[in-house]
Amino acid sequence: MSKVRLIPYTVDEVLNDTKVVPPGITLIEAPSIWEQGFKGSESVVAVLDTGCDRHHLEFKNQIIDGYNFTSDDEGDPTKFDDYSGHGTHVCGTIAAAENGEGVIGVAPMSKLLVVKVLSGKGYGETSWVIAGIRYAIKWRGPNGERARVISMSLGGRIDTPVLHRAIKEAVAENIMVICAAGNEGDGDHTTDEYAYPGAYPEVVQVGSVTLDEQISRFSNTNCAIDLVAPGEGILSTYLDNGYATLSGTSMATPHVAGACALLIEKCEKEFERPLTEVEMYAQLIKRTVSLDVDRRAEGNGILKLTSFASSLRKEKQTVNYHHN
């Protein structure tokens, strides 16, 4: 069985305390959705990563359940603690609580299903990831909750058919699967770099931009990129009740996962019915604005949850690579 690993990322700064809406969350315009009364309530996001610091003040009421598929803690399935910091950072971008302290996530009223599929060293068996995906598909909460989104900031260079099949199973169950594009980019938008599962057409593949809306040099480029989100200098939760700024497509991915939690709540209220994964994908991609760079780099553009409506971009310009 092949191996997967954390997509390489950088830790820019570790902080003991902060009190701010992270700039990446402002950039994708999440606060504008909050003002409309939507903060991700009832949405469960499964985070397949290195676990989460369950004792962080930002997650007091955010974690609904979890499971450990790795060899950490002698394989105890109940111990999904994070010994890396990566998973904790991802979880914070999605759902850090609105408590007047620290940071706030994109969807601060969503719930986290923490699925540990990578060890504290940042590596894991592909079989752990497959098991984690299938666990997220079958999981049901105490009130019948289901995971609506899977967020994966991990990858490998090997196309593994059984992993691809598990992802197809998730999508067939109307779960949106959000994956990092990878950080092997060479700064040349005309060349292709692939990491799996991000490169599978069924997933939403997320590239990275700076806080100045420039494509990150490290961000993989390929013809299956769906959209881009902030991935450099991203402030979020970290180990030991702390905070840190990290960079990588790993950091861009949870911005989109959190946005999906917001849109599920908002759009299903507006449509007065559950939406399929294909319908939710359309709602997500509608909320992008082109940066006027190569489609291999930006896909459909940068995630903008509200200002997309005033964009001059015409609908016919939207490129939809999903499910091809």
Exposed (0-12), middle (13-18) or buried (19+): which is 138, by Cβ within 10 Å? exposed
Could you tell me how far CA 207 lies from the centroid of its own chain? 11
Nearest 5°: the CA angle 26, 28, 32 is 65
Catalytic residue selected from 49, 65, 81, 82:
49
Give the whole-angstrom CA distance, residue 166 versus residue 137. 9
What is the DSSP code string of 75-111?
Answer: G-TT----SSSHHHHHHHHHH---SSSB---SSTT-E
State the DSSP code for 207.
E
Catalytic residue selected from 43, 53, 56, 86:
86
Does the annotation mark 255 as catalytic?
Answer: no
Residues 6+ apart with CB under 8 A from 208: 181, 183, 215, 216, 218, 219, 228, 229, 230, 231, 232, 247, 248, 249, 251, 252
Catalytic residue selected from 89, 250, 255, 322:
250
Give the whole-angstrom CA distance, residue 28 versus residue 196. 25
Does the annotation mark 89 as catalytic?
Answer: no
Does the annotation mark 32 as catalytic?
Answer: no
50, 83 in Cβ contact below 8 A?
yes
Per-residue tokens: 86: 């990566």
Residues catalogued as catalytic: 49, 86, 250
